[in-house]
Amino acid sequence: MKQLRAISLLIFLFSILHCTAQKVSFSETGNNITINNSIVSFTFNKSNADLTEIRNWHNTNLLGKKGRAYLLGPGFSMFPCTFNIVRSNDSLIELSFYHEASNHFQYDLHYLLRKGDAGIYCFLEQTHKASDSAGNYGQTRWGVRADESLFDYHLVRDSLQGPMPALKELTDGVQDWTYKLNDSTYYTKYDYADYIEGRHVHGMAGQKSGLGLFVIQASHEYLNGGPTKQYQNVHATPFLICMFNCGHFLSDRRKADNIITGNWKKLSGPFFLYINEGKNINDIWNDAKAKATEEVGKWPYVWMEHNDYSLRRGTVSGKLLIDNKPAQAGTHLILAAPGYDWQAQSQGYIYYCTTDENGLFQMSNIRSGNYTLYAYGSNETEEFSKSNIHVKAGVTTILGKLQWQPVRYGKQLWQIGIADRKTTGFALSNHKRNYSVFKMPPANLTYTIGKSKESDWYYAQTKPGTWTIEFNNIETFNDSATLTLAFAGYARNPTLIVTVNDTQVASVTGGNDASVYRSAVAGGYYQLQRITFPSTLLLKGNNHIDLTIQSMKEGAGIMYDAIKLEAR
């Protein structure tokens, strides 16, 4: 038996060595081109850039008869495109599919297959010329529809996984890609949307086939929206997505940089489409995570030969102080373009990191350019910014001590929640994403400062009714008071009536970021609302502030980050 095992092992090792020793090759048949490295092969339609076949080392076509992978964006398809072999040698082949679209942009989609890789790299360069009319850089994504008989399980995080229902089960539609199942539960693709921060891989696997298919993003620099942005990842069909520019969970009131004029270009990617297998889902997932860690360590990829992909990068470091004290560990620093809310930026590249317990931070592998440095966290509802951060290739830009002195609006009387742009600490804030969660919070609620716990407040106010904050005041104020409402999300534009001791002081609307009804529980698009009123409205003794929603649409809601009251 031991001898048989040894022989089997030798055969396996020989087959791996044999495969990795093979040259990368290509062949053409009519309108199709196939590239192969003896481990995996990929077949493309030269006219429209569709990837029509993905075959693994068992010669299994992962896409089946009806599957395909393609680029999808605002008002265009890749047909007709110009096909070109950019470079070809024994170690790699790079293909280009170029399309000039009627939406005022040009798209150059590249695939690169390397020797010994169980997968393929893909990147997109999108350009706009000064002679083009103004264009809207809208949602742009690459996606692959695979064989339903081979893939039936979502994998996004250790905490965000689950079985994928068959397409035939999705008949009772509730909203876009949201269905009520026979057992009265709901399935929606938004249950598998997620923040990009802290992860570099997502995909799908087969419980019976033992196969896995994953998108690995070694860098997030080309993704829009920064660390608070949520993306679509994978859903039933089965469909696996790599978002280049994602419009989900962005408020319709955002002031964004999506309208593009003049000369502009952006290179998104490369991401790696990884193919693996295992004896069970856990094995497949652990292998994909290990591969993602490996890819992150290789960034920027030395084999990339493109004028708009710089291999030499810069570094930025510093120390953030808040009121002369080190920022709390985990405070976020973001490098993005000046002039726009970084949450709504998409034209350029975005970098981010967090501080350590001493307020120190460092960002590496930054493209050369001029940036603004932003910061949020440390239980502050405002954000910090410092402009004119010049990053040069091969240079570490040392910023030294950065002084953040948030504006105070008087004595702070109380605060509910931790200001971190999420619903952290509130009831249901750690609930697994699910379409029906927004039905759980109560219509009416009373929260007593000094007695109630943060978990007595809910992640979102989602029903007509009044949420009351009761508090005791022992001082007399004769100037102004400021109620700060930090919204982690605001869906379907409910009107919030704010009253202080039965006197209305504000009527607030926040637009729609689709957060609540698309299964978000931690947040959507962050907004800050400050309400100033005469501090004489505050009484000595018992006081109450009411947050009332008189009517709202199904799935509407206000997600809270923090609420605080200051007075002078």
Q: Alpha carbon of 412 to those of 331, 421, 481, 547, 563: distances in Å?
A: 21, 19, 10, 19, 11
Query: Could you write out the three-class secondary structure of 304-362?
Result: CCCCCCCCCCEEEEEEEEECCEECCCCCEEEEECCCCCHHHCCCCCCEEEECCCCCEEE
pLDDT of residue 7 exceeding 90, the answer is no
Q: Which tens digits make up the pLDDT trace of 387-444?
A: 999 999 999 999 999 999 999 999 999 999 999 999 999 999 999 999 999 999 999 9
Strand partners, 94: 87, 112
> Which sign, positive or negative, has the C-alpha torsion 130, 136, 142, 147?
negative
pLDDT of residue 122 exceeding 70, the answer is yes
pTM of the predicted protein model: 0.94
239-245/140-145 β-pairing: antiparallel
Q: Do 333 and 375 form a contact (C-beta atoms < 8 A)?
A: yes
Average pLDDT, the chain: 95
Q: Do 444 and 465 form a contact (C-beta atoms < 8 A)?
A: yes
Q: Which tens digits make up the pLDDT trace of 330-371?
A: 999 999 999 999 999 999 999 999 999 999 999 999 999 999
Res 197: pLDDT:
97
Q: Do 537 and 506 form a contact (C-beta atoms < 8 A)?
A: no
Q: Do 519 and 190 form a contact (C-beta atoms < 8 A)?
A: yes
Res 4: pLDDT:
40
Amino acid, res. 172:
D
Q: Which tens digits make up the pLDDT trace of 185-218?
A: 999 999 999 999 999 999 999 999 999 999 999 9
DSSP result, 28-88: EETTEEEEE-SS-EEEEETTT--EEEEE-TT--BTTTTT-EEEEEBTTB---S-EEEEEEE
Res 74: pLDDT:
87
Q: Do 491 and 462 form a contact (C-beta atoms < 8 A)?
A: no
Instruction: Could you list the beta-strand ranges (E) of 210-331.
Output: 211-216, 230-231, 234-235, 239-245, 259-260, 264-277, 314-322, 325-326
Q: Which tens digits make up the pLDDT trace of 54-76?
A: 999 999 999 999 999 999 988 88
Helix (H) or strand (E) holding 281: helix 281-298
pLDDT band, residue 21 (cuts 50/70/90): low
Q: What SS3 state is found at 285? A: helix
Q: Which residues fall within 8 angstroms of residue 244, CB to CB, at 6 or more apart?
A: 124, 126, 140, 141, 142, 222, 223, 268, 269
Res 41: pLDDT:
98
Cis ω for the linkage preceding 163 (within 30 of 0): no
Q: How far apart are alpha carbons 19 and 6 in whole angstroms?
A: 20
- Domains detected in the chain: 2-298 (2.70.98.10), 314-404 (2.60.40.10), 411-567 (2.60.120.260)
Q: How far apart are alpha carbons 551 and 258 in whole angstroms?
A: 33
Res 103: pLDDT:
87
What would the two tokens of residue 325 be? 């004290």
Q: Alpha carbon of 506 to those of 258, 497, 502, 544: distances in Å?
A: 31, 6, 12, 15
Res 240: pLDDT:
98
